Structure 1
Amino acid sequence: MQKVTLIPGDGIGPEVTEAAVKTIEAAGVDIEWDRQKAGIMAEKEQGTPLPREVLDSLRKNSIGLKGPLTTPIGSGFRSVNVALRQKLDLYVNLRPVKTFPGPVGDYEDVDLVVFRENTEGLYAGVEHKVGADAAESIKIITKKASRRIARAAFEYAEKENRDRVSIVHKANIMKLSDGLFLETCQEVADEFPDVGVDDCIVDNLCMQLVQNPEDYDVMVMPNLYGDLVSDLCAGLAGGLGVTPGANLGDEIAVFEAVHGSAPDIAGRGIANPIALMLSGVLMLKHLGEEEAAVRLETAIRELINESEVLTPDLGGEAGTDEIADAVVEKL
C-alpha cells in the first residue's frame, strides 16, 4: 500500500479533493491517505499556514496530492505554495496542457508541456521597502537551478519522444540574469543531441502561442515566466479547470490543481474537480501505476467528449459530486 500526503486546501479545495480521491481509488490503486491541514484553516488553528507536520508528512511519504490554497493579496502570510516548493526543494513545476475532444476550449490538437523553475527568480521572496514610496524585489538566477530545470526538461523530452525544447527568456533586456539562464540551458542541450532546441523571447512566445500553439512542444523557463505562460497555455485547452500540475524534486513530488481556491463558490458543490483528477493521473504515473493512470485519464476524456455531465465553468449544469460519480461509473 502506498501512503500519500493529502492536503485538501482552502475554499473549494476539500470538495475537489474528495472527488479526486474517489476517482483515484476507483481506478484500483490501494492508497492510504495521510490527511494534513495547510492554508487558512491551519493559520486559524495553529497560527501558521504551513505547519511542521505537513512538511514532515511529505518528507516521510515522498508524495502528496494537494488542493488549492489561498494566498492573501498584498498582505497576510506569504504563499504556502511557494513555501512548500522552497522548503522541500521542489524545483520543477510541470504543467502538461492538452486539448480535449468535445466542447472544451477553442483550439484543437494543443499538446504542450511547460517546465517552470520553481525555487528562485522573482519568486525567491527577496524584497524590501526603499523609503516610504518605493519597493524593490530582487531577481535571483543561479547556474545550479538553471541547469537542473533544463536537465529535467530535456530528460522528459527524450523519455517521452518529444521533438523539441524551447528555452524561454528575456535575455535581450536582462542580459545577466536571463542571459545566464539561456546560456546554462544551451549547455545542457548539448548533452541531448537527439532533442531539438531553440530559444524564444517570452513576450513573443506569448503571441506565437495564441496564434500557432502547434509550433511548440516542451518549454523551459524561469519562475515568473512559467507562472504566466502556463496559465496562457491552460487557456488554450479550456482553462485551469482542466489543467493538471506537479511540483517535483529529487526525493519528493507534490501533485496539485493549479487553479485558485475560488472562495466565492466554496460549499456550493459546483466546483470543477477535473484538474485535480488529472493531477491524480500524473501522480499515478509517478507511482508506476501506468494502467490505472491510463484508465482514469481515458474515463475523464470520455466524460468531456460526451459533454453531458459538465460543471458550469465548462458550460454544463452538473455538480462536483456528479462529475466524480460519472468518472467512477466509467471506470
Structure 2
Amino acid sequence: MFSSIAKRNLTQSLKTRSFASVASTDAGLPKKYGGKYTVTLIPGDGVGKEITSSVQEIFKNVGVPVEFEKIDVSGLPSDGKKADQITEAVESLKRNKIGLKGILYTPNDAINKSLNVALRKELDIFASLVLIKNIPGVDTKLKDIDFVLVRENTEGEYSGLEHQSVPGVVESLKIVTKYKTERIARFAFDFALKNDRKLVTAIHKANIMKLADGLFRQTVKDIGASEYPQIEVKDMIVDNSSMQAVSWPQQFDIMVTPNLYGSILSNIGAALVGGPGLVPGANFGREHAVFEPGCRHVGLDIKDKNVANPTAMILSSTMMLRHLGLNSYADVISQATYDVLKEGKIRTPDIGGNSTTTEFTKAILSKL
C-alpha cells in the first residue's frame, strides 16, 4: 500500500549518512531527455530567487545533467492570479515528477489560502522529510544532534475545513484518518529500516485529543509492532517532546508527527543546529517528489539583500540528485558545502559572519 516511488527512493547507505541524503537505486524515476532530467523549479517568495540561483550556478559549474523548468508562483497578495499559478506549477510537476522549490509566503488573512498546502494536496505529496543534524564548523550549544522529522503533509490541522457558525464563533476541523496515518507510519518505518535508524517516536496530544491524536498514536504503534518488529517504537506528548528536543535532542532518532506538530518541531530543530538556512528537506508522494528547505521561512525581511544562507537549498538539491540516482554529483556538491562551513572563513550573517550569498556560493565553486 505504501507508495512504490517513495519506498524505492528512501535508501541511504551508511557510507553517505553524513551527507544530507535520500538516495535512489531504482529506475522508477522521470525519464531522461537528451541525457538530462527536467526538474520543475519554483523559486518562491522572499529569498527564494537568490538561493535557487545559487543552486543553478553550482549545477551549471559542475555540469549536473539537470535542466530546470522555471515556474513563477507567489503567495504574496499583490502577485496576480493564484489559481492560475498553482495550476501551472501542478501541471509542470505532473510532467516532470520532480521539483525544487523555495518557500511560498502564506498571508494571515482569511481570503488568501496557503499555496504550499494547495500544492501538496493537489499532488498528494503526503510525507515531509526534514534532516536535523549538527554541521561541523557551525557552533551550537548542543552537540551530536542527528534526528529526522517525518511529517504528515495533507490532513490534521491543515485540512482547511473551518467556518464561522455564528459571529465570533469559529469551528475548525482537524481531520485524522487511519489510512493516511498508516501511510505516513510506513514511510517513517521504511526510512528507519533503510537508513540504520533504530527508533521511531510518534508525537501526539492524545491525552487531550483522545480520538484524533489517539488514533494517530495507536496506529503508528500498531504498524511498528506488526510490520517492523526490529524497529523500536515509542510515543511522546508534543509539549513534552518540544521540551525534550531543546534539553536532550540526542534521544531522538525519527519523529513521526501530524501536520501541525511537525511544523513546530522543524522550527525547534532548525534552531538547535544553527537556523533555518541550514536544514534541508524533501516532500514525497506516490509519484512526485518536491525538495525544499526543511524549515519553511520565507525571509521577506532580507529579500534582495544578498545575505541569505543558501545551504539548506543546496543540501536539499543534493537530496534531489540522490533521488535521481546522481550520487556522484550530490557527493561533490554537498562535500564542498560542508567544507566551506567547516573552514568558517566565509559565513553568512545568520551563522555569525558578514559574507554575502554570492560570496558563499563562490566559495563552494572554488572547492569544486
TM over 0.5: yes
Summarize deviations over 1:98-136 as a string: whole Å, max 9, x none: 111123432211101000000000101001112111212
Partner Cα distance (2:310, 2:49) in 1: 10
Q: Give the alignment of 1:112-151 within 5 angstroms.
A: 112-151=147-186
Amino acid at match of 1:256: E
Partner Cα distance (1:139, 1:318) in 2: 44
Farther off after superposition, 112-121 or 303-312 = 303-312
Match of 1:235 among 254, 271, 293: 271
In structure 2, what is the equivalent of residue 79 of structure 1?
114
Farther off after superposition, 100-109 or 112-121 = 100-109
Determine helix, strand or coil for the equivalent of 1:102: coil
Structure 2 unaligned blocks of 5 or more: 1-35
Note the C-alpha offset of 1:10: 1.3
* RMSD, matched Cα: 1.6
Residue 256 (1) aligns with residue 276 (2): no
Match of 1:223 among 247, 256, 259: 259
Note the C-alpha offset of 1:41: 7.0
Assess if the C-alpha contact under 8 Å between 2:75 and 2:115 holds in 1: no
Note the C-alpha offset of 1:19: 0.5
Q: Give the alignment of 1:1-331 within 5 angstroms.
A: 1-40=36-75, 44-46=79-81, 48=83, 50-190=85-225, 191-257=227-293, 258-331=295-368
Partner Cα distance (1:312, 1:49) in 2: 36
Structure 1 unaligned blocks of 5 or more: none
Note the C-alpha offset of 1:76: 4.0
Q: Taking structure 2 as the reference length, what is the TM-score of the superposition?
A: 0.87
Partner Cα distance (2:84, 2:236) in 1: 37
Summarize deviations over 1:207-251 as a string: whole Å, max 9, x none: 111111111101101001111011111111111110111111010
Partner Cα distance (2:173, 2:107) in 1: 21
Determine helix, strand or coil for the equivalent of 1:247: strand
Identity %: 43
Partner Cα distance (1:110, 1:131) in 2: 47
Partner Cα distance (2:78, 2:85) in 1: 8
Assess if the C-alpha contact under 8 Å between 1:130 and 1:136 holds in 2: yes
Determine helix, strand or coil for the equivalent of 2:175: coil
Assess if the C-alpha contact under 8 Å between 1:9 and 1:66 holds in 2: yes
Farther off after superposition, 149-158 or 228-237 = 228-237
